[in-house]
Amino acid sequence: MSKPIGDEIGRGGQFKVYESPGDRVMKVPNSLAESVVVHTEWAGDEGQATASAKQGLGFRDANVPRILRMSARYPALSVLLGRPRAEVDGCFSQDRVSTLGEVMQRNKDQAAEWIEKFAECMHDCWRFGLYDYLLLFNCNYGVTGDGDVVFFDFGEVSDFTPFVADAIRNRQWEARFESYEFLSKLVPDKEYRRILGSRVTPVRFNELWGSELDDLDSELLGPRALRDHPEDVGGLSQRIVARACSEAGRGRVVVSDEAIAELSNRPWGPPSALEPVAIAALEISDGAMIRVEDLVS
């Protein structure tokens, strides 16, 4: 790792968290065995925990590298996510913050104001095409020294427009038991519903969703599954690789027709799922063309 690590200060389903110099933390990926231990503590059933751990690590491996690249691309998003920075071996560093749950417990008379700040943070995430479907207000969000709410645990998010639109239309925030139970102990039910019900709406979603993204990132949000439109795979692949080369200061690399044909036959879901595969192929390729043998599953 590129930076010294201090004591372990936390462990979740995807990462171990260590102290790091400069009022930062270092997040180190869990192994499957480590993740199963955490999920067993949560679920109590090892069989269920193993399945949940595998799913969670799959989400981590798909989401975190992509979001770290986006954070480097968009300075405002970096601030919103606690200024994460990719390190070696799948690790990343981040500003150290207090969890929103800790702050709300210490300031119970201001709990409603913190929920409002959480809603503002959610809106800011929408601007960059990120939707937190876990909605664990108390432990996945933090408060900076300046009193800003940041989204620091972003290992499980969705950027697929149809899924997110449905979640908001169906008022998914009401059904998240873990968050609702925590918040309802601090804020009257009516006040809680007023704050989020007036903010987490289809109208605001349509206004904000992806509004701060460039053209390529906007296209990667959807709104349709890529498997239904394989004709889009070639153009998206070339644009993803071209941008990655530009950001890395690398010369021009193109995707071969054979590689595009192979990619076009895969059962893609959200268009954004193509990006990590294309970038992984670019990292494997040692020439000016990505070939079929450079592709990973």
- Does residue 43 have a pLDDT over 60? yes
Residue 233's SS3 state is helix
Query: Does 169 map to a domain?
Result: yes
Please check whether residues 136 and 188 belong to one and the same domain. yes
The size of the chain, in residues, is: 297
Please check whether residues 229 and 256 belong to one and the same domain. yes
Residue range of the domain that includes 262: 223-294
Give which of 234, 238, 288 is closest to 262, Cα–Cα. Answer: 234
DSSP string, 97-152: -EEHHHHHHHTGGGHHHHHHHHHHHHHHHHHTT-B-SS--HHHHEEE-TTS-EEE-
pLDDT at 191: 87
pLDDT at 281: 95
Query: Does 283 map to a domain?
Result: yes
- Does residue 1 have a pLDDT over 50? no
Query: Does 2 map to a domain?
Result: no
Q: What is the CATH number of the domain that holds 289?
A: 1.10.8.60
pLDDT (mean) for 168-197: 83
Please check whether residues 163 and 262 belong to one and the same domain. no
Query: Does 216 map to a domain?
Result: no
Query: How far, in Å, CA of 79 to CA of 100, rounded?
Result: 16
Give residue 274's pLDDT band: very low, low, confident or very high (50, 70, 90): very high
CB 104 within 8 A of CB 39: no
CB 119 within 8 A of CB 199: yes
pLDDT at 158: 92
Please check whether residues 90 and 104 belong to one and the same domain. no
Q: Which two tokens stand for residue 186?
A: 């601090």
Domain boundary among 208, 235, 269: 208
Domain boundary among 208, 240, 275: 208
Please check whether residues 179 and 240 belong to one and the same domain. no
**Tens of pLDDT, residues 123-169:** 999 999 999 998 888 889 999 999 999 999 999 999 999 999 999 99
Please check whether residues 244 and 194 belong to one and the same domain. no
CB 138 within 8 A of CB 104: yes
**Tens of pLDDT, residues 103-117:** 999 998 999 999 999
pLDDT (mean) for 237-256: 96
Query: Does 217 map to a domain?
Result: no
Query: Does 275 map to a domain?
Result: yes
Q: What is the pTM of this model?
A: 0.91
- Give the sign of the dihedral formed by CA 274, CA 277, CA 279, CA 281: negative
pLDDT (mean) for 176-197: 80
pLDDT at 288: 94
Please check whether residues 143 and 50 belong to one and the same domain. no
Give residue 4's pLDDT band: very low, low, confident or very high (50, 70, 90): low
> How does the average pLDDT of the chain come out, rounded?
92
Query: Does 215 map to a domain?
Result: no
Please check whether residues 163 and 200 belong to one and the same domain. yes
pLDDT at 33: 95
- Does residue 3 have a pLDDT over 60? no
Residue that the structure tokens 């799959």 belong to? 58
- Does residue 28 have a pLDDT over 80? yes
Angle at 254 (CA atoms; ends 250, 260), nearest 5 degrees: 140
Domain boundary among 182, 208, 234: 208
**Tens of pLDDT, residues 64-74:** 999 999 999 99
Total domain count for the chain?
A: 3
**Tens of pLDDT, residues 211-234:** 999 999 999 998 889 999 999 999
Query: How far, in Å, CA of 160 to CA of 254, rounded?
Result: 26
Max Cα separation, the chain? 62
